[in-house]
């Protein structure tokens, strides 16, 4: 990374990709704080190079949300998730895969944080849009149903509904 930065420059696409890959490697190693620190330095450079709406910025924001959750910094994770959701919805549409996935992920963080009413409302909205956009058996729909929706229902202590939701999940789709 040091060599790429010196020879190509700090905002060269290859240098930025190397740094993002480095941050992701740190995540895999569960070195969450180091990975977050790298993304903290990297985000302004990626935004400067590609613009705030670029897919690389979205990927970096998604990584940051995951890191913030791992660090227990839920309020920041929610703020970053909301930012990514709003940008994805504006750029790709509210029914886009990325927008819906981030909306569901952020809703789940809200539920983990104890904001179950808001989180449950948001994940229900994301699920309803996913059903319309991808169908009830779509991979994203199934993922939202098996993940964030069920988890938020459990957090809200709506166990019978969580059971019904899980009964509608195609386990074979999730195992692919």
Q: What is the model's pLDDT at position 172?
A: 76
Let me know how long the chain is: 176
Sign (positive or negative) of CA dihedral 107, 99, 13, 79: negative
> Rounded distance, CA 90 to CA 111, Å?
25
Q: What is the model's pLDDT at position 124?
A: 97
Rg (alpha carbons) of the chain, rounded to whole number: 18
Give me the mean pLDDT over the 126-146 stretch: 95
Residue 87 and residue 58 in contact, taking contact as beta carbons nearer than 8 Å: yes
Residue 176 has pLDDT above 70, yes or no: no
Which band of pLDDT confidence, cut at 50, 70 and 90, is reported for residue 78? very high
> Rounded distance, CA 70 to CA 29, Å?
12
Residue 126 and residue 107 in contact, taking contact as beta carbons nearer than 8 Å: yes
> Rounded distance, CA 126 to CA 142, Å?
12
Give me the mean pLDDT over the 103-119 stretch: 95
> Rounded distance, CA 151 to CA 84, Å?
21
Give me the mean pLDDT over the 138-157 stretch: 94
Which one, of 103, 101, 104, 26, lies nearest residue 67 by Cα?
Answer: 26
Which band of pLDDT confidence, cut at 50, 70 and 90, is reported for residue 43? very high
Which band of pLDDT confidence, cut at 50, 70 and 90, is reported for residue 10? confident
Which band of pLDDT confidence, cut at 50, 70 and 90, is reported for residue 11? confident
Which one, of 144, 94, 147, 153, lies nearest residue 120 by Cα?
Answer: 153
Q: What is the model's pLDDT at position 174?
A: 67
Q: Find tokens 């999730």 and name the residue.
A: 174
């Amino acid at each position: 990374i040091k060599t790429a930065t010196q020879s190509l420059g700090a905002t060269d696409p290859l240098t930025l990709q190397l740094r993002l890959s480095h941050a992701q490697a740190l995540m895999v190693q569960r070195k969450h704080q180091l990975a977050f620190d790298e993304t903290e330095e990297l985000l302004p450079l990626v935004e400067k190079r590609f613009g705030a709406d670029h897919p690389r910025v979205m990927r970096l924001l998604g990584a940051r949300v995951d890191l913030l959750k791992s660090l227990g910094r839920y309020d920041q994770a929610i703020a970053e998730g909301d930012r990514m959701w709003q940008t994805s919805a504006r750029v790709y549409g509210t029914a886009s895969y990325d927008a819906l996935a981030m909306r569901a992920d952020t809703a789940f963080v809200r539920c983990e944080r104890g904001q179950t009413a808001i989180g449950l409302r948001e994940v229900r909205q994301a699920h309803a849009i996913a059903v319309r956009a991808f169908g009830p058996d779509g991979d994203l729909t199934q993922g939202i149903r098996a993940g964030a929706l069920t988890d938020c229902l459990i957090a809200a202590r709506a166990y019978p509904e969580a059971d019904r939701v899980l009964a509608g999940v195609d386990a074979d789709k999730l195992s692919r």
